[in-house]
A and B are shown apart, each in its own frame.
Chain A
């Protein structure tokens, strides 16, 4: 591949199924090193599923995911574990361990993967928490934090091992616009400070405007449009137009399709 040096992640002809239900049907795109790559798509379009494949939580049905020049779908468990240390993930619901304090959550990967002194780890945890604006919250339990703070704590944990890339699953979903904007600023800050690569799943348009270097629009299990935000906005694809204009589907059409999705027999015409 000609421009492989510039690409951190290369996805080729990815197909993902749950049983007989095909969620991703032949998807290809590249994520360049250091950019913020935004994945846009409606609810149930397979955004979370795509992320789960990118971090190796799921094996795709077919297709290839190259991470840093290595095929992520074919490598041994041991190599995949090594690769994972270069990745961090921010989950939709933050996925903090409820039985541990915020500091213990952030310390977990460090305790497992490094042989650092406890005191060093404590300092690193403090630095990470200050980075996401949670200095002083070390001893709080996740249940005592607000939604936005929990997302930040999850981000601090994802940053613990100084990864090359962070995957965000709907970082600002369920947050009020101000807290959501704060998270966007944080994503930008991390990108500028550490030249982090970010893969962000979202359907918040204001957030896309702010952070996206490249936008990938999903529809019907494939890539509907790929490019910078302006290029995607100019797209002639009907679904993309509809998404950006926030125009609802023809009445009834959407609901019928949703019902068929629930039954698992989505037609892909």
Chain B
């Protein structure tokens, strides 16, 4: 019993410690984004664009493919259920709303965690192991400004945009299946999709994706700075970066969904 309490207590303390450390990382990052440029300390524009391209543009093929297939799966599964009640014409509504509010932001965030969150941890972890972070500091270059800020801005811009594309391809996936195999009229399908989505759904999905983006970046970077030891440490932290990030994304998703439900 005491062992369990002790374990829980320690886990809680460690969690609190990590949370506070992550918060201070966020504050530091925001300082270098908002305050420092005003003091004439500059922003690394080229590196930021590079990160935007790496996180966003390069992830498009895989995100589009997977969300297209998911849209198709969703259409088939919901047609199977809805046709039993004779409301198969609701498939486009279901696919569209699910894509906008939930599945596109979530899938995009998870895929980008796997592609870029892990890469952030590996990059910063490797730099830490090879003393490159120390070298930056000795040269009087701030690691947050140099490494974190471009990733933060790049990710926060890229993820919502990729999410929009993903929403579109997911609806397209449902459209393809419904018109090709389930015999729905293409025009009717598109019209019901458009009717089903409200501005609020859209804002909901968009807001989520912005927060998911921040989680991906902060967790990835934070785990990178935690790396100790050699290559093995990098591997361990990369794994834990992906796990933590996906966990936090799902928890945030629950919170958001609950908030949006309770107010309507």
Contacts and interface: CB of A to CB of B under 8 A. Distances in A.
Interface stretch (B101-109, B138-146, B241-249): B138-146
Interface string A76-105: 000001001101110111011110000000
Contact of B140 (A52, A91, A93, A113): A113
A139 B131 CA distance: 22
A109 interface: yes
B59 to A, nearest CB: 20
B139 to A, nearest CB: 5
A92 B131 contact: yes
B130 interface: yes
Nearest to A97: B132
Contact of A109 (B126, B127, B132, B140): B140
A87 B140 CA distance: 10
Interface residues of A, number: 22
A89 B140 contact: no
B139 A91 contact: no
Contacts of A95: 130-132, 134-135
Interface in B91-147: 126-127, 130-132, 134-135, 137-141
B134 A108 contact: no
Contacts of A57: 134, 137-138
A109 B139 CA distance: 6
A91 B141 contact: no
Interface string A131-159: 00000000000000000000000000100
A106 to B, nearest CB: 11
Contacts of B130: 93, 95, 98
Contacts of A81: 140
Contacts of A113: 140
Contacts, number: 47
A55 interface: yes
A87 B138 contact: yes
Nearest to B137: A57
Q: What is the interface of chain B mostly: helix, strand, loop, or mixed?
A: helix
B140 A112 contact: yes
Contact of A112 (B134, B138, B141): B141
Nearest to A84: B140
B131 A109 contact: no
Nearest to A92: B131
Contacts of B132: 95-98
A81 B141 CA distance: 9
Nearest to B131: A95
A52 B134 contact: yes
A57 B126 CA distance: 18
Interface string B137-179: 1111100000000000000000000000000000000000000
> Which of B130, B137, B139, B140 has the most C-beta atoms of chain A within 10 angstroms of its own C-beta?
B139
Contacts of A52: 134
Contacts of A97: 127, 132, 135
Contacts of A93: 130-131
A88 B137 CA distance: 11
Nearest to B135: A95
Contacts of A55: 138
Contact of B141 (A88, A89, A96, A108): A108
A124 to B, nearest CB: 15
Interface string B174-211: 00000000000000000000000000000000000000
A85 B139 CA distance: 7
A92 B138 CA distance: 14
Nearest to B139: A109
A218 to B, nearest CB: 21
Query: Which are the 6 A-B pairs with shortest beta-carbon distances?
Result: A95-B131, A95-B135, A109-B139, A84-B140, A91-B131, A89-B138
5 contacts: A84-B140, A91-B131, A91-B135, A93-B130, A97-B135
Given A89-B138, A93-B131, A97-B127, 16 more contacts: A52-B134, A55-B138, A57-B134, A57-B138, A81-B140, A84-B137, A84-B140, A85-B140, A89-B135, A91-B135, A93-B130, A95-B131, A95-B134, A96-B132, A97-B135, A109-B139
